[in-house]
Amino acid sequence: MNPIQKITPLLASPGLRRAGLLFSARAVNPVVSLVFSLVMPRILTVEDFGVYGWALARIFIVQAFAEIGLQQSLVRFLVPALRKDDENDFRAVLRASLQLKLYALAFIFAVTGLYMGGIVLLNQLAASGVLTHSFPPGLLPAAHPDQLNLTWIIVLGGAGLSILTYLDAVLVAHERFTRLSLWLPSVGVIRFLLLAGFLLGMGGRLRAEHVLYAFALGPFVSIAFFFCFYPAKTFLLKVPAVNWRPLVPRLLRFNLWMLAAAFMAIVSDWMEVLIISEEGDSGHFNAARMPMQGFLILLATMGSLLLPRFSNLQTPAEFRAMFGRIYRYLLPVIFLFLPGFIIFPYFIANWYGSDFLISIDVFYILYPNFILRIYFAPLGVALVALDQPRLVAIEAAVRMVAGFVFNMILYPTEGIIGAAYASLLAQVCGWTFLVFCYYRFFSVGKFPFQRDRLPEI
């Protein structure tokens, strides 16, 4: 059979159509974020662009806490209930997950309110002479009284994204990819319209805060549109407490590991932005990370497609066969990424201008990192389906700790070039741990730090 004969059935397969729908749905928001990244350096100063990246990293950290691990675990537990066509189990899982979501949001807003109130009080005491100095803004720059609004933008932005991913997971569990492809792009479109409105209203003179307002408010407007594609009554149906209350601690135990994993993964991914101390350096590093938006689309699409499939597998032999099919098609795709080594540096030089030329050197170090993430992503997704959130958290912890250590060594001496190498080396440490886990799984049938797979709800 020649290559064309092999490819033709793949192109006509329902799986590829589903992947295309899901990819198109997830593409719009990162593309809009990419437009933000491309336009912002032309509108904002390098320093303001650095503030935008600084705040964006913290929005994603708040999102990780507000999600409380539900984005993946909700799919993991809803899929078996839907497969059994058991309406009671489905409603119980949904109600328990909704309760956890409300607890997480209430906790985040309460902590933020108390923390910010304490900071205001400390500064008022300092102003009245009770304290000798005000609260040090260097500990948390957004906590300074002049930037309290920026902190609330960060909290609201993270909360809105977490609600968005929760609703996203509900549609993914149903495999309603057509509806997802119609609803999810609304977030990016709304953000773009808000940004355009700010741009026109401010006469083209934008600050980082305007861009962050558009980014943070977009999800809240889009959430209202979700109920055009999914019945709101599903979330309002009365479920007996005896059905859903026992599931809350069970989901919580599973999700605490996923929460830890999500938090450490985000800190790892944004470690360099969090550590880089100069706003100009932060702007240059963000410009080099620009292609990451496209890879985030691919990673999110792969996770949404693979997790429901992996959740139906049981034995090492089944997972080995599935990995074989995945990598048979995934490995040749690497050739599609190679032109990026030419295209993106050319774009950075000609779009961002001479002030960002150092970003090209950083890009050449980060780009292989982005490509390799695609190839190790199925291993991480399968760990969730195998009910190994502890291993997911350990892998994220390995990356986070390695990233911190390498950055502490390389950034002070080599600047953002050293930070780029630290990012790559941290990922290699995480990938090494994943390979070790699956070596054990396929050779002896058990993972290191094995925990039993959870029975179906």
Residue 25 pLDDT grade (very low, low, confident, very high; cuts 50, 70, 90): low
Residue 37, pLDDT score: 62
Q: Which two tokens stand for residue 198?
A: 């700010």
Radius of gyration from C-alpha coordinates of the chain: 23
Query: Which of 10-47 are b and which e, b meaning 16 or more Cβ less than 10 Å from the residue's Cβ?
Result: eeeeeeeebbebbbbbbbbbbbbbbebbbbbbebbbbe
pLDDT at residue 399 tops 50: yes
pLDDT at residue 412 tops 70: yes
Asked whether the beta carbons of 136 and 40 are under 8 A apart, the reply is no
pLDDT at residue 436 tops 90: yes
pLDDT at residue 263 tops 90: no
Residue 334, pLDDT score: 82
Residue 20, pLDDT score: 58
Residue 159, pLDDT score: 93
Residue 162 pLDDT grade (very low, low, confident, very high; cuts 50, 70, 90): very high
pLDDT at residue 121 tops 80: no
Residue 370, pLDDT score: 87
pLDDT at residue 143 tops 70: no
279-288 and 389-444 are packed helices; what angle lies between their axes, rounded to 10 degrees? 40
Residue 279 pLDDT grade (very low, low, confident, very high; cuts 50, 70, 90): low
Chain CA centroid to CA 80, Å: 25
Residue 299 pLDDT grade (very low, low, confident, very high; cuts 50, 70, 90): confident
Q: Which two tokens stand for residue 136?
A: 């040090």
Residue 3 pLDDT grade (very low, low, confident, very high; cuts 50, 70, 90): very low
Sequence-separated (6 or more) residues with CB below 8 Å from residue 21:
177, 178, 180, 181
- Provide the percentage of residues in the chain whose pLDDT is more than 90: 13
Average pLDDT over residues 2-19: 47
Where along the chain do its domains lie? 10-444
Residue 23, pLDDT score: 58
Asked whether the beta carbons of 22 and 304 are under 8 A apart, the reply is yes
Give per-residue pLDDT as tens, 44-55: 776 777 777 778
Give per-residue pLDDT as tens, 315-353: 888 899 999 988 888 888 888 888 888 888 888 888 777
Give per-residue pLDDT as tens, 61-101: 888 888 887 877 788 788 878 877 778 888 898 899 898 89
Give the lowest-confidence range in 131-135, 348-352, 426-430, 453-457.
453-457
Helix residue spans in 290-357 (DSSP H): 292-310, 316-330, 334-337, 340-347
Residue 145, pLDDT score: 47
Residue 85, pLDDT score: 77
DSSP state of 333: G
The overall average pLDDT reported for the chain is 79
Give per-residue pLDDT as tens, 364-379: 998 988 889 889 989 9
Residue 139, pLDDT score: 44
Residue 204 pLDDT grade (very low, low, confident, very high; cuts 50, 70, 90): low
Residue 450, pLDDT score: 65
pLDDT at residue 140 tops 50: no
pLDDT at residue 232 tops 50: yes
How deeply is 337 buried, as exposed, middle or buried, from its count of CB atoms within 10 A (0-12, 13-18, 19+)? middle
Which position has the higher pLDDT, 80 or 16?
80
pLDDT at residue 455 tops 90: no
pLDDT at residue 403 tops 50: yes
Q: Which two tokens stand for residue 361?
A: 């050197």
Q: pTM of the full predicted structure?
A: 0.67
Residue 431, pLDDT score: 93
Q: Which two tokens stand for residue 386?
A: 């195998």
Residue 34, pLDDT score: 62
